[in-house]
Each structure stands twice: as structure tokens, then as C-alpha cells.
Amino acid sequence: MTDENILIVQADSAETSLGWATLGPRRWRCTVGEGGIREDKVEGDAATPAGEYPLRRLYFRNDRLVLPKVRLPARPISEHDGWCDDPQSPTYNRLVHVPNDWSAEKMWREDALYDLVVVVGYNDDPPEGEWGSAIFLHVAREDYAPTKGCVAFSQADLLELVPLLGPATRLRVLALPASEQVPASGEGAEMKTLEDFDEKDW
């Protein structure tokens, strides 16, 4: 699997939701959950789950945007689409018809956040426990405010990104923020040359 098939997301620091998403040589500004990036995510913590996940499919508002040519399965969002976020439901972390007897997030929104959505394959094969639901790549607010656990991009950037995503693409969310990442060997430090050594080095 090449770097062209790994979409890497990393926050700038532990104090901000802002980060970068990288796919091969390209990168885009993004924002993550207000609960940070966590390896022990649970339902309702507003955290983005750390780890590596497949990308399942796209949903989009065809009354608001023209979807470019994509390789993932895609279908328009309808007014009765929801995403179940109730761990007690047999349809937990699934697309559902709303209204129904269980708690569900509406996919048809007044704002633009779900005008374009990529479903992340997190806790869905099968959904278990209360480990979280409705983890998407979606459109960010204009100020890149934190999400409830998703990864969000400007609409222009997301429209640029989705044609590059295919069935083999995986999302890798790094728990360690960029500010705490140790530079690779040799980066940021000068290597000693032979003339730099003296007898105490031997």
C-alpha cells in the first residue's frame, strides 16, 4: 500500500483541533473533534478516534453541489436520511430513515456541513458497545470550529480530495500531535563530520 492510499490526519498540537490531512504529496487544512484525538473513544465524547480505518462511501446534497467523478460508492442525501447514534439500537452506527424510535442524527441539514460526507469505517464491522458512531469526513464551518468527532475540511478542499479516494484508501488518524512528534533521525540536528571529532569522542 502506497502513501497515495493513506490519508493521514494529525492535529497541530494537543491544544487545538486544527490540523493537516496529507495524501501523497498533497495536503489540506482540516479540523478534528473538540474532544481531541483519542485511542479510547466512546459515544458522546466528541473525540476523533485514533487509528486506521477504511473509507466506505459518499453521501452528498445534489440540490447544493455537483459531485465530481469519484471512485467510492455515492448517493444523494434525502430529507429522511439519518445516522443512528443510539448504542441500544439494532441500527447503531447505520444510515436510517427518520423519524424513528431511536436517537439519530439528521443527514439533511440547514447548514452546509453534510453537503458532502465520506463515511469512515469506524466501529461498523459490526458496530459494538458504545465506542462511537457517525465518524465522517465532512464540510467544516467557516472558522474551522471543532467537530463532534469527525474530520472536516473546507468544501473546496473536500471536493478536491474525494476524487482521489478509492476502495483501497485508508484514513490514518495519528494520536500524537505534530508539536510532540520527534524529528526523524538526522532532521534538525547536524551530523558530526570526521574533523569534528577529537580524542574524547573515541
Per residue in 116-159, pLDDT tens?
A: 999 999 999 999 989 999 999 999 999 999 999 999 999 999 99
Neighbours of 101 (CB within 10 A): 8
DSSP string, 126-140: S--TTS----EEEEP
Question: 113 with 158: CB under 8 angstroms?
Answer: no
| Residue 184 predicted with pLDDT over 80 | no
| Residue 186 predicted with pLDDT over 80 | no
- In this prediction, residue 2 has a pLDDT band, given cuts at 50, 70 and 90, of low
Domain 3-178 CATH assignment equals 1.10.357.10 = no
Total-model pTM: 0.89
Q: What is the pLDDT of residue 181?
A: 84
